[in-house]
Amino acid sequence: MPKLKIPKSSPSIDMTPMVDLAFLLVTFFMLAASFRASEPVTVNTPSSISDKFIPENVIMVTIDQEGRVFFNLSGTEARREMLTSMMGKYKMSLSEEQIEKFTFMSTFGCTMQELPSYIDTGADDRITFQTKGIQVDSTKTNELYDWISYAGVAALNSAKTAFEEAKLKGENPVADDFKPKFILRVDSKTKYQKAEDVINVFRELNLNNLNFITSSELAPIN
Amino acid sequence: MAEIAEGGGGGHGKGKKRAKKSSTRVDMTPMVDLAFLLLTFFVLTSTFSKPKMLPLAYPAKVEETEKQKGPKMNNGITFLLSEDRIFYYQGEYYNKDHRDKDGSVTELKEVDFGTGEKSVRKLLGKLNNYVLVKKQGLDEKLKRKELNDSTYLKKLDALRVKREALKVLIKTDEEALCKNFIDLVDELKIAEIGVIAPVDITPGELQLMKEKLKK
């Protein structure tokens, strides 16, 4: 009987395809990922079936679980304009460095008095910054009212510039696409009454078309 | 890594110096390790679902002096929210001093956010049937290309605010959570309701809801 011969195979496997795939995936995830700026609050938004994307020009008010109010405006130019108007109104002076820092900040939440020390706090330490958030009450002279009204003016100006730029490029822009959107970001566990206080400030300014940020959810199939 | 040729140390023989043959293969293990590390990092940290926004138009503020009796509700329903519960009544609000034609007063009924018999979705599907059926007709037409997108949207908007369409008021007490509010608005959008108005709760309604909550 001839001996059964087992073919000798090398114990090392060719890993080239696997490594190729690994690099392909790494490249994909690196390019697809976009990094978010660190936020001073964590908010778990409720979900809805809405499929509207958030545009670039936004004025966003965040309300966390305890009802603290935070504010955000997109665009560095608009932020600078808003801050300058606010400084004029509250007779405050900030150093050029502080203004620069503010324009690159994301969401912020503090009273006007706390603002300088809030700006000087590092981005990672803002989470623990002791504050009650932006002051809101039913009077017409609350700080949120001023922030929103100045932000509205600044955002409209930046919308105009963006519109003109698009026009110069020979595109066919629709002016409405550039208009700022007013967005509320609320936590699932926020009391609705807290949100209503903020909504009333918007309504006081005659801004009635609001948007809520939600995470997406599948629409029911009929 | 590529091997580094050892320095020609010592006099080994007197023959010609021969360049050492080094393998052309480079050890790629560290690089591949790093690649997988990065891969794991990106897979774990990236989130793909971008947040979306849910539009909601609030009624414009009216001056106190203009505020009179609320508008007559035609084919309306009022939702009342508290904590994680949701109640509703149809038509106008009637109490002991102001009874309906047949002498009845408003009673609250409770619903939930599920998909069962007592859910908001079922209720709205029934009450807003007129719009939902018509919308299906429009959808069919759109599919058969008898309508273009812009006229479809225009017709849909007009349909949603028709006389026969259901109109909704949302009222909340101080314990209501945002999650419930958004969930309700979401249900209303699913049911193609065009008129959604979040308004202030009246003391009478608050009282009714408190009684219900106790049970």
Residue of A66, A204, A212 to mutate when probing chain B, most B C-beta within 10 A: A212
Q: What is the CATH number of the domain that holds B190?
A: 3.30.420
| Residue at B103 is within a domain | yes
Provide the pLDDT for residue A96. Answer: 87
B60 to A220: CB separation less than 8 angstroms, yes or no: no
Which residue of A22, A53, A202 is in closest CB contact with B50?
A53
Strands B76-82 and B52-57 turn out to be: unpaired
Mean pLDDT of chain A: 84
Residue with tokens 């023959």, as numbered in its chain = B15
**Which residues form the domain of B206?**
71-128+166-214
Q: Contact B190/A219 with Cβ under 8 angstroms?
A: yes
| Residue at A1 is within a domain | no
pTM: 0.77
Burial class (CB in 10 A: 0-12, 13-18, 19+), B56: buried
| Residue at A180 is within a domain | yes
| Residue at B119 is within a domain | yes
Burial class (CB in 10 A: 0-12, 13-18, 19+), B65: exposed
Confidence of residue A221 (pLDDT cuts 50, 70, 90): low
CA distances from A81 to A86, A150, A175, A182 (A): 9, 8, 21, 18
Which residue of A32, A45, A189 is in closest CB contact with B177?
A189
Question: Min CA distance, A5 vs chain B (Å)?
Answer: 31
Which residue of A19, A46, A53 is in closest CB contact with B182?
A46
| Residue at A118 is within a domain | yes
Looking at the structure of chain B, the number of domains it has is 1
What tens digit of pLDDT does each residue of A8-40 get?
777 778 888 888 998 998 888 888 877 666 677
- Which residues in chain B have Cβ-Cβ distances shorter than 8 Å to A202? 58
Provide the pLDDT for residue B70. Answer: 54
- Determine the Cα–Cα distance for residues B49 and B42; give it in Å rounded to an integer: 15
Looking at the structure of chain A, the number of domains it has is 1
Question: Min CA distance, A11 vs chain B (Å)?
Answer: 16
Query: Would you state the structure tokens that stand for residue B34, as one six-digit string?
Result: 């790093």
Can you give the C-alpha Rg of chain A in angstroms?
Answer: 25
| Residue at A136 is within a domain | yes
Question: Min CA distance, A41 vs chain B (Å)?
Answer: 16
For every one of its 215 residues, what pLDDT tens digit does chain B have, with 9 covering 90 and above? 444 444 444 444 455 666 777 777 788 888 888 989 998 988 888 776 678 888 888 888 776 555 555 556 667 888 888 888 888 888 777 777 766 667 677 778 888 887 778 888 888 888 888 888 888 888 888 888 877 888 888 888 888 877 778 888 888 888 888 888 888 898 888 888 888 888 888 888 888 888 878 76
CA nearest to A53, candidates B191, B149, B48, B54: B54
By three-state DSSP, how is residue B79 classified? Answer: strand
Q: Contact A193/A70 with Cβ under 8 angstroms?
A: no
| Residue at B136 is within a domain | no
What tens digit of pLDDT does each residue of B110-151 get?
888 877 788 888 888 888 888 888 888 888 888 888 778 888
SS3 of A154-187: the string is HHHHHHHHHHHHHHHCCCCCCHHHHCCEEEEEEC
Provide the pLDDT for residue A222. Answer: 55
**Could you tell me if B183 lies within 8 Å of chain A, comparing CB atoms?**
yes
- Determine the Cα–Cα distance for residues B213 and B215; give it in Å rounded to an integer: 5
B53 to A214: CB separation less than 8 angstroms, yes or no: yes
**Which residues form the domain of A81?**
51-215
A208 to B175: CB separation less than 8 angstroms, yes or no: no
B53 to A213: CB separation less than 8 angstroms, yes or no: yes
Q: Contact B147/B113 with Cβ under 8 angstroms?
A: no
B52 to A210: CB separation less than 8 angstroms, yes or no: no
- Determine the Cα–Cα distance for residues A179 and A57; give it in Å rounded to an integer: 7
- Determine the Cα–Cα distance for residues B168 and B10; give it in Å rounded to an integer: 96
Provide the pLDDT for residue B11. Answer: 45
Query: Would you state the structure tokens that stand for residue B21, as one six-digit string?
Result: 């043959």
| Residue at A181 is within a domain | yes
- Determine the Cα–Cα distance for residues A32 and A36; give it in Å rounded to an integer: 13
Tell me the residue type at B132. L
Question: Min CA distance, A26 vs chain B (Å)?
Answer: 5
| Residue at A75 is within a domain | yes
Provide the pLDDT for residue B1. Answer: 42
- Determine the Cα–Cα distance for residues B58 and A176; give it in Å rounded to an integer: 19
| Residue at A106 is within a domain | yes
